[in-house]
Amino acid sequence: MFSDFLQDVRFGLRMLRRSPMFSILAILCLTLGIGANTAVSSWMEGLMFRPFPLVAHQERMVAVAATQAGQFSNEDYIPIAYPDFLDFRRDCKLFDWFLVDRISATTLNIGERAESVPDDVVSSNYFDALGIHLILGRGFRPEEDSGRNGHPVTVISYQLWKERFDGDPNIIGKKQLLNGVPHTIIGVAPKGFYGTFVGWRMQLWVPVSMQETFTSGGYKLEDRGQPWIEGYARLKAGVSIDQAEAEISAEAKRLELRYPATNRGRGAQLLPLWKNPFNQAGELGPTLEIVLVVTFGVLLIACSNVSSLLLVRSLARRNEITIRLAIGCKRGRLLRQLLTEGLIISTIGAAGGLLVAYLCRNLLVLFFPDTSVMATNLSGEIDWRVVAFNIGICLIATLMCGLVPAFQAGNIDIANALKAESGGSSGTRRRIWLRSLMVGGQVAASFILLVGCVLLFQSLRRLSIADPGFAADNVLSSYVDLTTLGYNSIRSAQFRDYLVDRVKAMPGIESAAWVKNEPMSYASPFVAPIAIDTYHPGPDERPMAEYNLISPDYFKTMGIPILSGREFTRNDTVATYPAVIVTQKLVDKYWHGMDPIGKRIQVEDKWMQVIGVAKDSKYHDLSEATIDFMYLSVDQNPTENMSLLLRTSRAPESMIGPLAHTTHAFNAHLGFQEVVTLRTHINREALATQQIVVALLSVFGGIALLLAAVGLYGVMSYSVSQGKRDLGMRMALGADASHLFRIVMSNGLTVTIGGMLAGSIVAASLTRWIDFKTLLYHVNPRDPLAFVVAFAGLMIIAVVASLLPAWRASRTQPIEALRD
């Protein structure tokens, strides 16, 4: 068998060399189909299953999240409180380790240059648990987990070491100012290690004892009521995720009984890395699932095209195959020969597909361009799993490409074939019908992809014009770092008041305000337990709400209506009774629609008076439902770094220069990191997933349409060449050129319409799956417009693909056709 296989391979290679145009077209089709599937599988491997380069045993890593009864957002997952984390680590026995992981942004000063870089607050076992060996220095020690801001040390990334410190081999022991606090550099991470967050490259790591310096909201290491950890754990070998989750859930239940004041209704859940709710892996998961299905459809179309080409070639070799059968060749041996030829083509296509996947491994980064604040790490990963997937796709392609022509050739009736003329009409009609059926399948798949593209494009368009609950146009947004220059909360408040007063005096500025966390940004609003005098929660319910810190004129600047009561003013200070502004959702839920002005609400351990009710708006993304939300005054809850919002009546870009001049007039060393319009910020942060889906589906849908057009053109050309005698006979009997042109065009349109009808039936079911994946925003998954656009688009392609064969048919010379 091995000898026969080698002989078949040599013969197949000679056949490919004899038909170079056929070989190139077939290999290109499969390269596109296999390459698209391999590229998507590499993205899934690199972003979802093995997202952390150099980290060992990622297949056993899980994200650890908390759940809260009656939770309001983030798919019912919240971070973990540090004391709970310590209890999990001590009492749960089915895990190798637990580690703390919390991303933030750090102001890094090198010489006169200051910039914001992503950092990670981690537990002391971070590098050892992940199997990361530092190239210089050491990691963190266990004692550096404890003590309030007592261990200002840091490990820096290889990239930071090379680009900012020029690869200084004596970097260990040197001081670096981080968020205004001198830190000692104790280690350098290896090249290629970016941390444990999908989407950002971590530039430095600090121990958990420095939490207060790098995360907002004060000291949290001893507070069970402050969930802030986005951690990971690794299961012991042989332990399933269900077993481990049962153990950690039981521990969470014990903590709930032991600490009812803070842990009532709180549970714990383990999630695989590809479902991590705290980074972009969880957001991109549904997107890549849809794209993988789409690329498999592209593969089917490509294989159908190649199968059609092989079928044509097998028919052209009909005499050769008939003679081989007549002189004693077994049909099984012939079948293996034809399948081997398909295997050769698919193997070359698979190799080309791997090359395409390698070249496209960083394609997703194009949809998340680097900014001056954050850098993305969304690279694909090509390892043995992706190669195995590529080989599997290659074998599938071999079967799909080779079986139809192989069985068609194997069913030859030797006696009739030897007697038949080369243009036998009945056999030709059967072969044309078979190819037409295959092309109809290609059209159906292309129709489905086109409908999906149109639906997602409509969704993206509606998201881009969706009402976020505030007026995002003509608003400038930027972030100013004050801790770098040693500003405390008192000096920060003075600077904010000064800058707002000066900015308001600038021509074209209508209003200005400060906000701790901008809407639609990764820096999520704060979360706090709440209590209301007149509301009595259930036994397992612990009411919680998100909140943000704002300055006076925030609602005016954002264009958020105050439904009752008032905004904050400068009279709301630390010396006055704490005030809070609630949203309409909170009023409906806890005050049952009654006016809450003057009523009290407890936020964490502090009672506050409701002074206003604001209209609900969007905080995390444009498609979210309304959530429980509050606003607190920054003057009553002092903090340092905040973002500035400016509403202007002029072109926003024209205000950047005057704003910088006003800032430098106060302090020459202060500057805004990036000044963008709020609309740009929203498009960048909230529409990224939809933009990726639309862009990728457009690319792969375009490939599918191209392949379908090639297939339709091929079947029309083949039918014209095989039916040349019939066309000549018609012309000899009086048919004119226009009649033949109409016949061929109608055949092409018939195949197309049949494929579209089949595709519309399937699309009506599959588009509901897209809606289930929450990728459609206010779009009916069976929107007639999408089907009409797909129908029109494919009809245009069918007309274009059929024109040349129809023109060739109309130019048929009857005498030459009958002589042939």
Q: Are residues 121 and 232 in the same domain?
A: yes
* Whether residues 394 and 440 fall in one domain: no
pLDDT in the model for residue 374: 45
Q: 358 or 289: which carries more pLDDT confidence? A: 358
pLDDT at site 422: 43
Q: What's the whole-number mean pLDDT along residues 35-64?
A: 86
Residues 652 and 755 in one domain: no
pLDDT over threshold 60, residue 683: yes
- Furthest-apart CA pair in the chain: how many Å? 107
The whole-number pLDDT of residue 377 equals 62
372 domain residue, yes or no: yes
Report yes or no on 763 lying in a domain.
yes
Q: What does the pLDDT read at residue 425?
A: 43
Residue 425 covered by a domain: no
> What percent of the chain shows pLDDT beyond 70?
84
- Higher-confidence position of 2 and 646: 646
Q: For the residues 182-196, what does the mean pLDDT come to?
A: 93
Q: Looking at the domain assignment, is residue 53 inside a domain?
A: no
Residue 475 lies in a domain: no
* pTM for the structure as a whole: 0.71
Task: Name the residue with higher pLDDT: 314 or 537.
Answer: 537
72 assigned to some structural domain = no
Query: 106 near 152, Cβ under 8 Å?
Result: no
Q: Do 480 and 671 touch, CB atoms closer than 8 A?
A: yes
Q: What average pLDDT does the segment 304-328 reach? A: 69
Instruction: Give a yes or no: residue 440 inside a domain.
Output: yes
d(CA 642, CA 548): 11
d(CA 351, CA 326): 37
Q: Are residues 241 and 296 in the same domain?
A: no
Query: How many angstroms separate the Cα of 292 from the Cα of each of 36, 45, 297, 351, 700?
Result: 9, 12, 9, 19, 10
Bridge partner residues of 601 (DSSP): 532, 608
- Rounded to 10°, the helix 331-359/20-44 angle is 60
- Tell me: pLDDT of 340 over 60: yes
Q: Which two tokens stand for residue 764?
A: 């009506």
Q: Does one domain contain both 696 and 665? A: no
Please check the confidence at residue 747 and state whether its pLDDT lies above 70: yes
* Structure token pair of residue 277: 């709710």
Per-residue pLDDT band for 681 (boundaries 50, 70, 90) equals confident
Burial class (CB in 10 A: 0-12, 13-18, 19+), 275: middle
What pLDDT score was predicted for residue 414? Answer: 53
The band of 634, judged by pLDDT with boundaries at 50, 70 and 90, is very high
Q: Identify which has the larger pLDDT, 107 or 86.
A: 86
My answer on whether 367 and 232 are in the same domain is no
- pLDDT tens readout for residues 545-591: 899 999 999 999 999 999 999 999 999 999 999 999 999 999 999 99
Q: Is residue 190 part of a domain?
A: yes
Chain-centroid distance, C-alpha 183: 35
DSSP letter at 78? B
User: Tens of pLDDT along 276-292?
Assistant: 887 777 667 777 777 77
**Domain-terminating residue out of 258, 276, 294:** 276
Task: Between 363 and 139, name the one with better pLDDT.
Answer: 139
pLDDT of 29: 82
Q: For 87, phi and psi rounded to 5 degrees?
A: -65, -40
Do 607 and 698 lie in one domain? The reply is no
495, 482 contact by CB (below 8 A): yes
**Could you tell me the pLDDT band of residue 316, with boundaries at 50, 70 and 90?**
low
Confidence of residue 388 (pLDDT cuts 50, 70, 90): confident
Mean pLDDT of 269-273: 91
Stronger pLDDT, 301 or 220, i.e. the higher one = 220
Helix (H, G, I), strand (E, B) or coil at 3: helix
Contacts of 650 (CB under 8 A, 6+ apart): 507, 508
> Is the dihedral angle over the CA atoms 418, 420, 422, 426 positive or is it negative?
negative
Residue pair 773/459 in contact by the 8 Å Cβ criterion: no
Question: What is the full DSSP assignment across 662-705?
Answer: HHHHH-TT--BS--EEHHHHHHHHHSHHHHHHHHHHHHHHHHHH
Strand pairing class (204-207; 80-81): unpaired
Q: Are residues 634 and 704 in the same domain?
A: no
Task: Please give the pLDDT value at position 113.
Answer: 53
pLDDT at 424 over 70: no
Q: Distance between CA 354 and CA 347 in Å, rounded?
A: 11
The dihedral over CA atoms of 190, 191, 192, 194, expressed in degrees to the nearest 10, equals: 60
Same domain? For 666 and 691 the reply is no
* 601/746 Cα distance (integer angstroms): 73
Q: Is 35 helix (H, G, I), strand (E, B) or coil?
A: helix
pLDDT band at 719 (very low <50, low <70, confident <90, very high): low
If asked whether residues 668 and 546 sit together in one domain, one would say: yes
First-residue to last-residue Cα distance in the chain: 42
Calpha distance 313→311 (Å, rounded) = 5
- Which of 216-225, 673-682, 811-820 reaches the highest mean pLDDT? 216-225
* Same domain membership, residue 265 and residue 209: yes
pLDDT over 90, % of the chain: 27
User: pLDDT for 102-136, tens place per residue?
Assistant: 988 777 766 555 566 888 999 999 999 999 999 99
Average pLDDT, the chain: 81
Residue 642 domain boundaries = 482-672
Look up residue 164 and give its two tokens.
Answer: 């900012």
The pLDDT of 190-203, averaged and rounded, is: 88
Looking at the fold, whether 411 and 436 belong to one and the same domain comes out as no
Q: Of 618, 644, 672, which residue sits at a domain end?
A: 672
- Give one word for 57, left, alpha or beta, with left for phi > 0 and alpha for psi -120 to 50: left
Tell me the pLDDT tens digit for each residue of 495-526.
Answer: 888 888 888 888 888 999 999 888 887 666 78
**Least trusted range by pLDDT, from 46-55, 233-242, 771-780, 797-806:** 771-780
Considering its fold, how many domains does the chain have in total? 4
